[in-house]
Amino acid sequence: MIQSSDELDVLVIGGGPAGLATALRLHQYRLKVQVVTKRKQPRELVGDHLSVETSRVLHQLGCWNKFLDAGHLKSSGTRSIWGSNRIEFSDAISRPSGGGWYVDRLRFERMIEDQVNEQGIEMYNGTLIDVTSDSKGWIVQTDKAIRHVRMVIEASGKTSAFARKLGISRIREDRQIAHCTVYRSEKPAEFFAMIEAMESGWWYSSCLPGGLLSVILVTDADAASPWLLHKSSEWVEDTLSATVHTSARIRRHCGGARKIVSQNIVHLSSGRLEVTAGKDWIAVGDSAICYDPIAAHGISQALVTGRDAADAAADALSGDMNRLSQYTKRLDYSYTYYTNQRKRLYSVENRWPRSVYWMNRQRTK
């Protein structure tokens, strides 16, 4: 166990997009920052749509040229079959800001890590064990080291490991399960995402760089988990055969003999932390607010909240708490806006009035 007497300004707990964005921005203020993180397994890296608003924050973090060089696919929009059997088009061309990207998620996260390493920001693999506060800040114990820090950034994703140690609980909005498959595609990439609602949930599909097709089924955790956990492929195949457009897209790209590159089941627990900051700690990304994947903007929110929390932390460390209070107000506002939008979106689908999935989503607060 390393016990360093050398005091840090900020310790970031969690090295996903939110934690790394915070660390990069804090470094721009010349603050002494360190990142401690549990490493994610490549199979945990699901979710590939990056909204166009992300370009600004990638510029600010110094990652924009690396992002352009990485060969992610530009999005032309979304086709959705939601609320009726008709395909609705939402085209990027009709939006002044354009349409975002479908990213290779592993490459995307490595890109931000490379930027952190190039800036000389210290980062190590470790897990938060314990935390106590004193007059100067925090004493944080991980499985590798004990550090004294003035401020902590809670960036541990939906586990909210640090906030839970403070006794802060998460407000749970929903529990869903995602069954994620990546297939090898035999056809040129299509530049649109497709969302198709069905009786027990919805399907998302998109082409990824490197000749891949990502297909995700999102369904109710309580109703579907026995099936997904014990008989997943049988249940998923039955559910897929009930779709018109998603199954046709898979046939078009993969032919008869589908080649699976990876498959994973992810538990989704959307919601927010009851309290998102204190005078010497701030939550960012999924830890602060974890969105339903239908919103497809968890990654951009991770980067944006990371940047804004770092700005607030820099001020707070010099005694000015204004930006910190604006930060928490903005999170509250975003969450209210998002929950209203989400409710509206799920209430559009009335084709299966007896479906547990749709009834559960439509009665969520």
Binding site for ligand FAD (CB under 6 A): 13-19, 36-38, 40, 46-49, 127-128, 155-157, 159, 161, 178, 180, 216, 266, 268, 285-287, 293, 296-300, 302
Q: How far is the CB of 208 from ligand FAD (least distance, A)?
A: 11
- Please state, in angstroms and rounded to a whole number, the distance separating the CA atoms of residues 315 and 141: 26
Q: How far is the CB of 31 from ligand FAD (least distance, A)?
A: 19
Q: How far is the CB of 55 from ligand FAD (least distance, A)?
A: 13
- Please state, in angstroms and rounded to a whole number, the distance separating the CA atoms of residues 333 and 169: 19
- Please state, in angstroms and rounded to a whole number, the distance separating the CA atoms of residues 106 and 62: 19
With respect to ligand FAD, which residue has the nearer C-beta, 14 or 278? Answer: 14
The secondary element (H helix, E strand) that includes residue 175 is: strand 170-184
- Please state, in angstroms and rounded to a whole number, the distance separating the CA atoms of residues 198 and 196: 7
Q: How far is the CB of 205 from ligand FAD (least distance, A)?
A: 11
With respect to ligand FAD, which residue has the nearer C-beta, 250 or 299? Answer: 299
With respect to ligand FAD, which residue has the nearer C-beta, 97 or 322? Answer: 97
With respect to ligand FAD, which residue has the nearer C-beta, 278 or 298? Answer: 298
With respect to ligand FAD, which residue has the nearer C-beta, 127 or 322? Answer: 127
Q: Say if residues 100 and 50 touch (Cβ distance below 8 Å).
A: yes
Q: How far is the CB of 90 from ligand FAD (least distance, A)?
A: 15
Q: Say if residues 44 and 21 touch (Cβ distance below 8 Å).
A: no
Q: Output the 3-class SS for 183-219.
A: EECCCCCCCEEEEEEECCEEEEEEEECCCEEEEEEEE
- For residue 253, give every residue at least 6 positions away whose Cβ sits within 8 Å of its Cβ, in sequence order, or none: 183, 185, 186, 187, 207, 213
Report CA dihedral (43, 210, 67, 271) to the nearest 10 degrees.
Answer: -30
With respect to ligand FAD, which residue has the nearer C-beta, 156 or 243? Answer: 156
Q: How far is the CB of 320 from ligand FAD (least distance, A)?
A: 26
